[in-house]
Structure 1
Amino acid sequence: LQEVLEGVGSGLFSPSDPNRYRDLVDELLYRDQFMLVPDFDPYSQAQREVDARWRDRRGWWRASVLNTAGQGWCSSDRAIREYAQDIWGVGVTR
């Protein structure tokens, strides 16, 4: 990641405007309020694990079915209805 950020920040990908992405790189290196850089290694590891599981088609299928079956009932209509009733104190109209 460090090499990529150095390349982007040095203008490697924008030779006609070397400072084009400097602000972006500075934001990631010095401010990074969303913790993208510190989270990069764990994210990369998790992605490698997902990739490995994806290659196991039978295992992926099984996990997908079990995950879907275990979801329970979820509905945006229910969420909107509860929000209307609990937050706004209004009933449902049709």
Structure 2
Amino acid sequence: MSIKNVKNWAKSKKNDFGVKFVKNACFLKDAVLKYITVRRTSDRMKYFKNDVKRRDSTESKMNLKNLSKKCLTIYHESDKITKLSAARLRRTGP
């Protein structure tokens, strides 16, 4: 082998190595990106499900509190109305 052929052979081997390295890197890059994408999606779904559960439980608690407040105010208002009407009936008579 002449020196020129050796240099060409070395260059060709380096290029082959470079091409193989790039192909492997691209393959690994796609696989890793795919794994990261799937992982992020599942984490998002897990967080979303937990968030929905948390929101539902707090909303239901808030709804119960609001409903109980409404019921109590309606009850107290109806009690006041009953007392007022009873007082008027006593004053005016039957």
The interval holding the TM-score normalised by the smaller chain is under 0.3
Give the structure with higher Rg (CA).
2
TM-score (norm 1): 0.25
Q: Which has the higher helix share?
A: 2
TM-score (norm 2): 0.25
Greater RCO (Cα-Cα under 8 Å, separation 6 or more)? 1
